Structure 1
Amino acid sequence: MVLPDVLHPFAKPSNSEFLTIVEGDGAVVRDADGREYIDAMASLWYCNVGHGRTEIIDAVGAQLRVLDAFHTFDIFTNAPSEELARELSALAPGDGFRVFYTGSGSESVDSAIKLARAAHARAGNPDRRLIVSRVPSYHGVTYGGLSATGLPANQEHFGPLVDDVVQVPYDDAHAVERIAHERPGELAAVIAEPVVGAAGVYPPPPGYLNELRRICDEHGSLLILDEVICGFGRLGRWWGAEHYGVRPDLVTFAKGVTSGYIPLGGVLVGPAIREPLEADPDFILRHGHTYSGHPVACAAGLAALGIMRDENLPDRAPVIGQQLSAGLQDLADRGLVAEARGAGAMWAAGMHPRVSAVAVRDAMLRHGVIARAIGDATVSFCPPLITSASQIDTCIEALEAALEDVRTA
């Protein structure tokens, strides 16, 4: 057996068979054999505006011809990074946010944790290092994000994780408050996805996120919302924070900011963090990434946001979500899946025991739809916001057909 030169992420290192995707257009991608698939996951939760958008492609090419790359450390900047930051600050779920750029969602989560701890230290509270996250949750794969991730399988084999990170059930705000009481003066931040995404698609209970806000306010903590998936229209507003009516202190983003055309991430940094960091004019924030504020990535972001705005794509999320919800709930009512759950245009079907989500995902490929198996119990959907009603119907039909295929195999 000859293995590929690429060691694939979240894959069996021993695997030698892969599906080669060669092109995409709208909500459809094609493989090397010319077969078409509806991209029911927007690739990996990110291609909100769909594939093949010439507006982004042209913006990237134009920027490469002017300034291909230059760093933003210390006294340097570039026009696309400044322009995109102005747009993101204007869109932020609150006033007074600045933008700290990264290259990915994992880097964004690490940055938010570091910024929260640094802000407390600069405010004279260096003991506030404790981070509370939730189970299940997904916050990335770098050591900070991995430590906050509520998926034990993801943490196996990687040795000691970051200290002072504790986890509670994703729907239990009282557990967060108990920790704040048990460890007074130590809580730096609570981190939460508005809707748990890659750990299974779990919306919050009613009022839950506002309860986290109250707890943070009462105990001197910061609230980090991980919007890497939920941001940029996925729940029907620009941010999940707006959808649920909650005020965050830090917001992590990536994925949808460029619709994945060029890697880009960042953190919206609110006043509670800015004030202690900006108070001393001689303080240096010794954190950043080589590609923070990369001009080509930021040009892609500007073009992607322009498409989102011009085509009112956030308004498409509830329309797509209603259709996915109805289709998945119909399968649940008929006993074909265990449950349907989701919010906005993020939905999942929970499988019955002894029904493999991976086998269902594989069978769906034969019916022309790419969904995502989360573990072996969930099949998830997060389609581009330009996906048509007939394409959503095809996704539901492919899931039903795949379930029958697996049942009779």
Structure 2
Amino acid sequence: MTSSLTGNELKQELTELDKKHFIHPTSNMKQLQEQGPAFIFTEGDGIYLKDVEGRQLMDSLSSLWNVNIGHGREELGEVAKEQMGKLAFTSTFSNWSHEPVIRLAERIAKWTPGDLNVTFFTSGGSEANDTAFKTVRHYWKIKGRPEKRKIISRKQSYHGVAMGATSATGIPEFHTFTTSIAPDFYYVDSTLDALKDRIEKEGADTIAAFISEPVQGSGGVNLPPEGYFEEVRKICDEHDILMIADEVICGFGRTGTNFGMENFGIVPDIITMAKGVTSGYAPLGGMVISEKLHKEIYENTQGNFWHGYTYSGHPTAAAVALKNLEIIERENLIENVRTMGQEMLNGFKWLQEQNENVLDVRGIGLLGAISLERESAAVEPIGPKVVAEALKRGLICRSVVYGGQDTLAFAPPFIINKKQVDDMVTIVNDSIKAVIK
């Protein structure tokens, strides 16, 4: 889209149209009506975004944890155009297929650990998790154990905003938004005892699956306790509970391995994925299941697998994903994630030394966080003020304040270099000092 208007005139026109016609996701509606959108972005280049007024900002969260290979990659536009010119869309219902989705399913099987080799495609992460919940319940039903339907997740987890995904999310604000959530979802603290107690209370014969992010993202970039997932895998096996890894943020290199659970030596029964498979250049997600589960499902399902989305296996999205994964491999970007991730963590540790209000820093690959101290839970959070100050200095970062936490979250694009990491850390340090005087 182009306009003859420029700068402030264009911003004013778009602001009024935005306020009148667009409902923003996870945003303050009253604030939008009063002030309009905080930014109207027009261009992206590498780790930077440019707004309608020409201001450049460093994108230290890869927009929504997803623009992993960076903004402005023309190769992805070219492959999308080529695919659209040949076959923009066709359904994969009714046993139909096409080459891009077949090639992508094969490519993903080379990325995933163990025998996680079979993919059901969706439009994003919420749909991927809803698909997993329906699939595990279907699995136990056809196995003659329909009472195994309960899903256990962790408090502070985020699994999306479709009905099932919302219900699995362990952040209360997403539950209180609506009048009710789906039944048979339960939440535990991130301890082994809490999981064992819940299994004992509910009865293992009623539990279909346990789901967890390898590293909690939206809940505060929370790394698991040492040895946690190794023991969770054993507990699930002992009680005949399927283990789902929500790799929507961590998958495809974000934590320095192909998938986040590989950091802990774990092969789950199911992986859900989205974001990084296309680096945000096209909407795509999926559920990847083990060959064992796949075989049991197709051998025992009578008739159709009654689940599917219009855009399951979208040809253009699949072509974009194939090119995105090729770029990650060709440019050795996961190696850069490990190298720059260590530089980022080192920078955060330095920042902690400079600021007594920094309680904790943590990171794994290019996924990191800084926890800030405030006098009490009743005091206004510091994080949003630091974020606002950083924006003045040209840096986009994110504040997480769920559950009383006061955390700054970071997940820069995989292409970030040492100078850019240093610039990011410097801006954060200056912003903290400006807020906490």
Range class of TM-score, shorter chain: over 0.9
Q: 1:386 aligns with which of 415, 418, 423?
A: 415
Give 2:208's aligned amino acid: A
Shift of 1:281: 6.4
TM-score (norm 2): 0.90
Q: After TM superposition, list the pairs within 5 Å mapping 1:122-133 onto structure 2.
A: 122-133=142-153
Post-superposition CA distance 1:287-306 (Å, at most 9, x none):
11110000000001000000
Q: After alignment, is 277-286 or 221-230 more displaced?
A: 277-286
Residues 206 and 251 (structure 1 numbering): CA distance in 2 closer, same or farther, change over 3 Å?
Answer: same
Structure 1 position 356 matched with structure 2 position 377: no
Alpha-carbon displacement from aligned partner over 1:46-73 (angstroms, at most 9, x marks no partner) = 0111111122111101000000111111
**Counterpart amino acid of residue 330 in structure 1:** W
What letter is aligned with 2:386?
V
Deviation at 1:172, TM superposition (A): 0.6
The 1-side partners of 2:352 and 2:434 are apart by 17
Where does the alignment leave 5 or more consecutive residues of structure 1 unmatched?
none
Deviations 1:129-155 (A, max 9, x none): 011100111000111111111100111
Which structure's residues are more often helix, by fraction?
2
Range moving further from structure 2, 59-68 or 149-158: 149-158
Quick one: distance in 1 between partners of 2:291 and 2:82? 35
Which residue of the partner structure matches residue 10 of structure 2? none
1:173 to 169, 192, 204: 192
Q: 3-state SS of the aligned residue for 1:318? A: helix
Give the Å deviation of 1:402: 1.2
Deviation at 1:205, TM superposition (A): 1.2
* Cα distance in 2 between the residues matched to 1:315 and 1:214: 31
Measure the CA separation in 2 of the matches of 1:215 and 1:116. 17
| 1:17 and 2:36 matched | yes
Deviation per residue, 1:361-400 (Å, 9 max, x gap): 1111111111111127111110000011111111111111
CA distance in structure 2 between the aligned counterparts of 1:263 and 1:88, rounded to whole angstroms: 16
Task: Decide whether the 8 Å contact of 1:277 with 1:283 is kept in 2.
Answer: no
Q: Is 1:341 aligned to residue 362 of structure 2?
A: yes
Q: Amino acid of the residue matched to residue 53 of structure 1? A: R
Alignment partner for residue 106 of structure 2, among 86, 93, 106?
A: 86
- Hey, what does 2:123 align to over in structure 1? 103
Aligned-pair distance for 1:404?
A: 2.3
Q: Is the 8 A contact 1:116 1:273 kept in 2?
A: no
Determine the C-alpha separation between the residues in 2 that align with 1:193 and 1:200. 12
Q: In the alignment, is the contact (CA less than 8 A) between 2:47 and 2:413 conserved in 1? A: yes
Output one character per residue of 1:158-181: Cα deviation in whole Å (capped at 9) or x when no partner.
122111111001x21222122222
CA distance in 2, matches of 1:184, 1:244: 24
TM-score (norm 1): 0.96
Checking the alignment, whether the CA contact within 8 Å between 1:360 and 1:406 is kept in structure 2 is yes
Query: 1:371 aligned to 2:397?
Result: yes
Cα offset, 1:260, TM superposition: 0.2
Q: Aligned to 1:190, what secondary structure does the other structure show? A: strand
Distance (Å, rounded) in 2 between the aligned partners of 1:262 and 1:184: 39
Count of aligned pairs = 407
Match of 1:197 in 2: 217
Q: Deviations over 1:314-341 (max 9, x none)?
A: 1112212211211112222331422112
Q: 2:200, 2:427 → 1: CA distance?
A: 49
Report deviation, 1:401: 1.4
Deviation at 1:285, TM superposition (A): 0.9
Q: Distance in 1 between matches of 2:244 and 2:86?
A: 36
Q: Is the 8 A contact 2:188 2:198 kept in 1?
A: no
- Asked if 1:395 is matched to 2:415, the reply is no
Q: 2:116, 2:370 → 1: CA distance?
A: 39
1:405 Cα deviation from its structure 2 partner? 2.4
Displacement after TM superposition at 1:4 (Å): 4.1
Which SS does the other structure have where 2:340 is aligned? Answer: helix
> What does residue 3 of structure 2 align with?
none
Residue in structure 2 matched with residue 153 of structure 1 by the alignment: 173
The aligned runs of 1:103-252 (5 Å cut-off) are: 103-169=123-189, 171-182=190-201, 183-252=203-272
Give the conservation status (yes or no) of the 8 Å contact 1:27–1:42. Answer: yes
CA distance in 2, matches of 1:314, 1:7: 36
In 1, the alpha carbon distance for the partners of 2:211 and 2:419 equals: 37
Q: Which runs of 5+ in 2 are unaligned?
A: 1-14
State the partner residue of 2:433: 404
Counterpart of 2:390, as a letter, is M
Moved more, 15-24 or 200-209: 15-24
1:185 alignment partner, SS class: helix
CA drift of 1:96 comes to: 5.0
Amino acid across the alignment from 2:410: F
